[in-house]
Structure 1
Amino acid sequence: MPLFVYGTLMRGERSHGLLGRARYLGGARTARSFELVDLGAYPALVRGGSNAVLGELYEPDRETLASLDVYEGCPDLFRREPIQLDGGAPCEAYLMPAGQALGCPRIDSGDWRARRR
């Protein structure tokens, strides 16, 4: 299943190299049922909002996915779960449980890169 990334793993961001040889499938947007929160150095995708979040889709191999799980602190900090993209296509993404994101600023645009603008 493709992996949706929305923060520091995207092209041009500091952790993109961790995707290794994962095949880039293109830009993507989630269904309008999430929030993107700003944790300072990185964002978190949280279920239960009403925003679409912008990101990119990749096709990682098992080894890369296992490395990403460790990097993302899965399953303690983030959990890799199935989500739906705008239009209904399924993929996986790293999500933070809503309770862990309480009080964090929201990125209403749903775009990690636009937060600095």
Structure 2
Amino acid sequence: MRRCRPCRRPPSACLNSPPLRTATVSIVVRTEAGAGLPWVFVYGTLKRGQSNVQVMAGARFAAPALSVQPWRLVALRHYPALVREAGPARIAGELWEVPEAMMAMLDRFEEVPALYTRHEIEVECLAADEAGSLAAGARLPAHTYFMPAAQAAAGRELLTGAWPA
């Protein structure tokens, strides 16, 4: 398969922006049936101020959030990876409201299933959002993208649960 030289992605998923591999880990929070758009929790390069925030164009930032369960978070060369093992800290990130049509694009960006697999977890909102749809302290079921431990083995453990460290 042909891949973009700078980002190593298939041409259809190429953002043509350095560094070489700038994916991020995301957590997708689903709303109740018919209640609204899905929520996405990001804690890597999709966060505001990070290298791939442009991927979130069309989504609405809602609030900062944490995973309820502590997980292992490792820093690879240009992006973090969440490992499906108990870790030392809850994972810090941001909640975004995302149009349903963006979900398939985010899956392609995260290279599911080749690089990440999706599993459900629970996240906690740290502040109310401006739209009034989330309250501080609200806990939401979520899907997240985990990287297999063997693929993340070269990374440096982030003991604080936050990236960048």
Q: Which category of TM-score, normalised to the shorter sequence, fits these structures?
A: 0.7 to 0.9
Residue 65 (structure 1) aligned with residue 103 (structure 2): yes
Of 28, 34, 42, which aligns to 2:65?
Answer: 28
- Contact 1:28–1:54 under 8 Å retained in 2: yes
User: Does the residue aligned with 2:82 lie in a helix, a strand or coil?
Assistant: strand
User: Which aligned pairs between 1:35-114 and structure 2 lie closer than 5 A?
Assistant: 35-50=72-87, 51-86=89-124, 88-113=139-164
What TM-score comes out, normalization by structure 2 length?
0.63
Greater relative CO (CA pairs within 8 A, separation 6+):
1
Retained in 2: the 8 A contact 1:54–1:110?
Answer: yes
The answer to which of 13-22 and 84-93 deviates more is 84-93
How many matched pairs? 114
- Return 35-44 or 84-93, whichever deviates more: 84-93
Which residue matches 1:16? 53
Aligned to 2:7: none
Q: CA deviation at 1:25?
A: 1.8
More helix by share: 1
Q: For residues 35-74 of structure 1, what are the alpha-carbon distances to aligned partners after superposition, in whole Å with 9 as ceiling and x for unaligned? A: 1111110001112123201001112122211111111111
Which blocks of at least 5 consecutive residues in structure 2 are unaligned?
Answer: 1-29, 31-38, 125-136
CA contact (8 A) 1:20 1:64 kept: no
CA-atom RMSD, angstroms? 1.7
Which 4+ residue blocks in structure 1 deviate beyond 3 angstroms? none
Provide the TM-score with structure 1 as the length reference.
0.86
Match of 1:90, as an amino acid? P
Q: Which has the larger radius of gyration?
A: 2
